[in-house]
Amino acid sequence: MNYTNSDNPSSKCSVCVLGQFCLPVGISSTDIAKIDTLVKERVHLQKGESLYRHGDTLSAVYSVRFGTLKTEYCLEDGRQQVIGFHLPGEILGLDGIGDGHYQSDAVALEESEVCIIRYEAFEDLARQIPVLQKQFHRILSRELTQDQRHLLSLGSLRAEERLASFLLNLSQRLAARGYLNNEFDLRMSRVEIGSYLGIQIETVSRMLSRFAESGLIQIKQRHIKLIDMDGLYELAGIPNPDRNTQIKPIGV
Amino acid sequence: MNYTNSDNPSSKCSVCVLGQFCLPVGISSTDIAKIDTLVKERVHLQKGESLYRHGDTLSAVYSVRFGTLKTEYCLEDGRQQVIGFHLPGEILGLDGIGDGHYQSDAVALEESEVCIIRYEAFEDLARQIPVLQKQFHRILSRELTQDQRHLLSLGSLRAEERLASFLLNLSQRLAARGYLNNEFDLRMSRVEIGSYLGIQIETVSRMLSRFAESGLIQIKQRHIKLIDMDGLYELAGIPNPDRNTQIKPIGV
DNA sequence: CGCTTTATTGAGAGATATCAATACTTGTGG
DNA sequence: CCACAAGTATTGATATCTCTCAATAAAGCG
């Protein structure tokens, strides 16, 4: 874990390319200057390094600057479950606000960097900047919605459907960040995907092979191309937001 | 759905018996007076009535005054999944803050009443009363943690373990509200329990019978007694918070 | 280049789902 | 107040999906 206290301009929220996906959405430049003073430090993580561990006292929440992290819960008997994957612009550590201690472990899946948002100071600032407060509430709420969709997946979908909706969810989040939405690298192992989806690694592997056979995707190791998005959406049981539902013109 | 605009004292936050489990935790009496002006309306629901539906525009969040509600998500093909059960003092509708529309359906499991917290006004007030803001963030965060524990259950536990941890979770939440923690009525049907746990109704039934046979519980219809709490905790794979772990005195 | 880790594929086992029959509750109306 | 209907829960028999165990293959790493 490598801390940076940086006055280098590229680290400021005001000029960060992630601005629109992170906290400062819709905030005036004068107010962003205040945020700049709040978020001065970053943490650099190598693959496999922990950002925080279950039980650690919360002093900050974190925004992913680049890279990917996972959060996971552990059971007493050693079983563990991946709860979420976190892409650039997403906030980590929110589960620690409830009682002042993180509930999960956060681990980098690749070389990553996160901005440190000292929580006490942030709450004060949010009080002064209504837009920031609103945005923070939206982020917390979306986090909730994301987890609840995940619950729907684990509770109601079969392995195949879970995997399809996982790939599409990733695709959507990457697209929102300006990456290709139909071709990308999976930063997580099959084990981690399986854990996240509540299925075994062998099942993940089989389902991916099956998808490839039926022409839904192409996969080579961790590099994946989504070929038939509509097919995947149908499998996942969710509507395809990109597809223009054909409405027949009236009177033609 | 039956609205009440009540100036009757028992409806005020300042004198509500739920105060300590709801928003106003740790708030001074002068500030609670301000909350009183915010929460003036309540909704009375009969069993089966909806409080809000997926897609409805968010204008308020709700606090359960008495009764029990469930929230659920629907899939296109008609499958649906219960995401949560909500007891007195718990806040509903938080999933609507993200984009201004509720993501789930909220339905009363029995005759219930909820307080209406107009959201715009609430955000303003939270800015004025730091303790209220903090408490709101804690509530949002705990909601997140609750969902994540639920994810752990659906992703990593077997049917039996899920049911045990469900019963214990209910028991803990009831205890926190001053109810008996080892004997209570299940307000939800077997179907709803099964949906919540990602298992079929028949499996719920079989597991409950098995628990009863092995002396862990007694169950008659929806009335349940938890007989062997330690046994249940062991099954659920979580530590029993009430049990004093025996630490051998040193030098004896 | 060889070792370790990670992923794929196959065969068989097991947990839970599905289908079906029965019993129990609750509510309604005669 | 009882009888019937509709909904809800239990229990059994069988089917199916996913897991587990095992062997092989491929990739990453020193």
What is the pLDDT, as a whole number, of residue B204?
Answer: 98
CA distances from A193 to A176, A224, B114, B223 (A): 21, 14, 39, 39
CATH code 1.10.10.10 for B158-243: yes
CA–C1' nearest nucleotide, residue B221:
D9
Cα separation of A140 and A143, whole Å?
A: 5
User: Which residues have CB under 8 Å from B178's CB, separation 6+?
Assistant: none
CA–C1' nearest nucleotide, residue B202:
D10
CA of A19 to C1' of D30 (A): 40
User: Which residues have CB under 8 Å from A71's CB, separation 6+?
Assistant: A82, A83, A84, A86, A92, A95, A104, A105, A106, A107
Residue B234 is encoded by which pair of tokens? 């062991």
Task: Give the DSSP H/E element, type plus range, for residue B31.
Answer: helix B29-38
Q: Which of B170, B128, B125, B139 is nearest to B20 (CA)?
A: B139
Q: Name the pTM for this structure.
A: 0.93
- The alpha-carbon gap from A131 to the nearest alpha carbon of chain B, in Å, equals 11
Question: Parallel, antiparallel, or unpaired: how do β-strands B112-118 and B60-66 relate?
Answer: antiparallel
Contacts of A203 in chain B (CB under 8 A): none
Across the interface, do B75 and A123 touch by the CB < 8 Å criterion?
no
- Give backbone dihedrals phi and psi of A75, rounded to 5 degrees, phi first: -95, 160
Test the B interface: residue of A154, A199, A204 with most B CBs within 10 Å: A154
What is the pLDDT, as a whole number, of residue A40?
Answer: 82
| Cβ under 8 Å to B: A residues 70-89 | 73, 75-77, 79-81, 83
Cα separation of B236 and B239, whole Å?
A: 9
Nearest to A145 among B103, B137, B141 (CB): B103
Q: DSSP code of B101?
A: B
Contacts of A103 in chain B (CB under 8 A): 145, 148
* Least reliable range by pLDDT among A134-138, B1-5, B172-176: B1-5
Q: Is A198 on the interface with B (CB under 8 A)?
A: yes
Higher pLDDT, residue B169 or A243: B169
Q: Is B46 on the interface with A (CB under 8 A)?
A: no
Across the interface, do B98 and A123 touch by the CB < 8 Å criterion?
no
Query: In the predicted model, is pLDDT for residue B77 greater than 80?
Result: yes
Q: What is the DSSP string of chain A?
A: -EEEE---GGGSGGG-TTGGGSTTTT--HHHHHHHHHH--EEEEE-TT-EEE-TTPBP-EEEEEEES-EEEEEE-TTS-EEEEEEE-TT-EE-GGGTTTSB--SEEEESSSEEEEEEEHHHHHHHHHH-HHHHHHHHHHHHHHHHHHHHHHHHHHH--HHHHHHHHHHHHHHHHHHTTS-SSEEE--S-HHHHHHHHTS-HHHHHHHHHHHHHTTSEEEETTEEEE--HHHHHHHHTS--TTS----PPTT-
Map out the domains of chain B as residue ranges.
Answer: 2-151, 158-243
Across the interface, do B81 and A151 touch by the CB < 8 Å criterion?
yes
Under-70 pLDDT residues of chain A: 1, 5-11, 243-252
Contacts of B162 in chain A (CB under 8 A): none
Contacts of A94 in chain B (CB under 8 A): 140-141, 144
Q: Which nucleotides of C are covered by protein (CB under 7 A)?
A: 6-11, 15-20, 24-26
The angle that helices B201-213 and B159-176 make with each other, rounded to 10 degrees, is 80
Q: Is B121 on the interface with A (CB under 8 A)?
A: no
Domain range B2-151, CATH architecture: Sandwich (2.60)
Across the interface, do A96 and B137 touch by the CB < 8 Å criterion?
no
Higher pLDDT, residue B170 or B36: B170
- The alpha-carbon gap from B119 to the nearest alpha carbon of chain A, in Å, equals 11
Same fold yes or no, B2-151 and B158-243: no
What is the pLDDT, as a whole number, of residue B88?
Answer: 95
Torsion of CA A74, A78, A84, A89, to 10 degrees: 70
- The alpha-carbon gap from B111 to the nearest alpha carbon of chain A, in Å, equals 26
Side chain identity at residue B180, one-letter code: L
Contact B65, B22 (CB under 8 A): no
Q: Is B166 on the interface with A (CB under 8 A)?
A: no
Query: In the predicted model, is pLDDT for residue B252 greater than 70?
Result: no
Side chain identity at residue A75, one-letter code: L
Percent of chain B with pLDDT over 90: 74
Cα separation of A126 and A123, whole Å?
A: 5
Percent of chain B with pLDDT over 70: 93
Contact B99, B108 (CB under 8 A): no
Digit-coded pLDDT (tens) for B88-102: 999 999 999 999 999
Query: In the predicted model, is pLDDT for residue B248 greater than 70?
Result: no
